[in-house]
Structure 1
Amino acid sequence: MKTTYLKQFAVLLMAGAICSCSNDFEPVSEDAATSQDTTKVTTKAFLSLPISYTDESSFVNSLSSYGFLEPDDINLNRSGTKSGYNSVYGFNIPSANQVTGFKWNSGDESTEEWRPQGLTGFNWGGRKFLLATWYGVGPGTISGVYNQHKGVRIALVDITDMNNITYRHILLVQDKNNMSNSNLYRSTNSYDQLDLFCPVTIHAGGVAYSNNKIYVVDTKLGMRVFDIRKLIAVSGDSTKNRIGREADGTLKAFNYSYVLPQIGYYDIDNANPYSCISLGTGNDGEARLWTGQYLTPSDNQTPKIYGFALNSNGQINMGQTIQQLEPQDNATGNNGPVYRVQGVYRRGQASTSLVTTTGNSSYEGSTARLVRHYSGDGAGTRFRWPHGAEDLYYDSSTGYLWNLTEYETSKYGQDNRCVFAVRYSDYD
């Protein structure tokens, strides 16, 4: 079922005051500091944003005979380690601001077939989980690598005990009928496509969790939606090349042991490209999904972040206005919009936006930054941030801001991938 809504939206903003910074910010000149105090940015109203949702629950329900599992039912077969997470390539968080983190196992640190992108988390059955998206790499990213046909996998990570980190990779799948829709499926290198379901061939640059639902951003489309209670165990595949339902009824997924089927998707016009997503709050403290755009100056567009209100079921509330903002970089770094956004978190009631950005000049071993911007201020504040930084996730139960880095060991001759947390209060 597909329902389309068209609304006229206006942005509600509150001005924020600049507070004192922790000692890891990137210095600005006196002139830049003056402009930060006096210049104000006018945020434009967002006039229209068509949104449609396609419900694919009938497809997911057709899989019920195979049995649905929940996160605490999954056998976590890999181990991460806290040791060395803060010594990977380009990790430059000051020691006073370091809280915790981990590295993947050696195979996942070094693999060139997958790169991690999105990060979120939730509590389940008395256990604390993180969830990271990884996309299949193709030759356009790394020469000679042809893994893009596998689409997206998620790493379900149990961090209840940071001295005993375990995780499992799970493949995302969608209705095979979506293969005929170029907005939902991208043809890649060949593999053995069977019946019933197919890969989710997107970049998966960000992921957010709300009320049992996982929202994965699709660069051009909007958001793919999954229900974490609909995990399914599948059979092994020694060829590692088959996906879907075999003639004998068994399910295959490139030799992964579990799949998570797509329950629906949001097609959102006029707001792409979607590079990241997180659960944050709007101006009145209401729950919102915030997405960010990865744009460069050559795109001749101003990067924006968008806040989509959620209802009590964790679904986008079509009747609520969508908040739009244009975070500003610091005066010496860019003196304008924040380009190359990789992660976003917004605390609307405090008028605070945090974004991770890459592709800057090298600073303390990294080209990434964390930029904090208060709505209405003419410039933000830059903080040093680890190289290869991606999606942000805020854990309200601990006050930790989580992030992850993406690059394989071969890129720099040493490990780069880690997942780490800092205290949000150190950057607000």
Structure 2
Amino acid sequence: MKRLSLKAIQAFVAVLLVALLATGCGGGNEDPAASQADNEKLKVGFVYIGPVNDAGWTQAHDEARKYLMAELPYVDASDYVENVPENPTEAERVITQLVEQGNKIIFTTSFGYMDPTIKVAQKYPDVTFLHCSGYQTAPNVGAYFGRMYQARYLSGLVAGKATKTNLIGYVAAMPIPEVIRGINAFTLGVQKVNPDAQVKVVWTNTWVDAAIEKDAAIALLDAGADVIAQHQDSASPQQAAEEAGKFGIGYNSDMSKMAPKATMTSPVWNWGPYYVDTVKAIKEGTWQSTLTAGSLTYWGGLKEGTVDLAPFGPMVSEEVKQLVEQERERIVSGEWDVFTGPIKDQSGAVKVAEGQVMTDDEILNMNWFVQGVVGSVE
């Protein structure tokens, strides 16, 4: 019998070891498909009301989407759909499409998406949905927003100090509590520094339509307003103010880039940290849709950094900047909040007694205007 050489034996052993490893020798039962799944990224989808370059609401969310991917390398948030109308059928179709594309977490970022989000969520219990600015929740649906009224109040201080005609125009989207409480907070800031000033509201009944928003701003300027504030997604009200040689208060993101001679500051959103914290909690299995503020899962403010003011323009004095900082500290420290009495409504009736603080539920469902607002909630 022919004896094998040492080299041949070594080659045989090497082949045997490779074969054993390939068949899972040593007690391993790893499933190649499972291994591949572990390496797949967590897909997160977004639904937007406007374009990602609107310099406003949608852009603020889209910047946060990019922040999410930068902070969490295991996340793929490349699926987003722009310009989705608040039509129940269309919104439901888009949300469903994102689910079918494999997204396990979906953020729907406008009030009108609430009912479609809840409806789709019932069909896909293994997917987590987060709806912005609404109030309905479910085991796999959270509702999130920010205490923008705090930043609105601070911007009202700036506007109240700037007006010479004592008439400030406010281009407003929809007559819903979200917008109404923002107008009220802004007006409380205005009247703190200028009790003679009034805030005149014009409703556009649209979140984003640059032409309609600009026409509304022009009408307010023609009525004598010399500062234009807004709850709208485009910068066209600020541009109208600049063209008229007046000042403005933007919204959503820093609108001074669009109207540098007019925009004194803008209440702005910073959704990035919230998105990161939420996605991490969902992945780790610690997220719950339990209510923490009225009917919201999350409601962060100045303290959490969810809302803030954009940098001041050169037309804002140091005196005003210091006043804003003082009021900010009162809010962040918890010493005081915006809707603390005494607060009167348009008729002069006391709605919040002196020393009383409105509850989160009362603030979230606000449907009346404070004294100093000119206009109707309808």
TM-score, normalisation: structure 1: 0.23
Higher relative contact order (CA 8 A, sep 6+): 1
Q: Determine which structure has the larger helix proportion and give its number.
A: 2
Q: Which of the pair has more CA radius of gyration?
A: 2
Give the strand-richer structure, 1 or 2. 1
TM-score (norm 2): 0.25
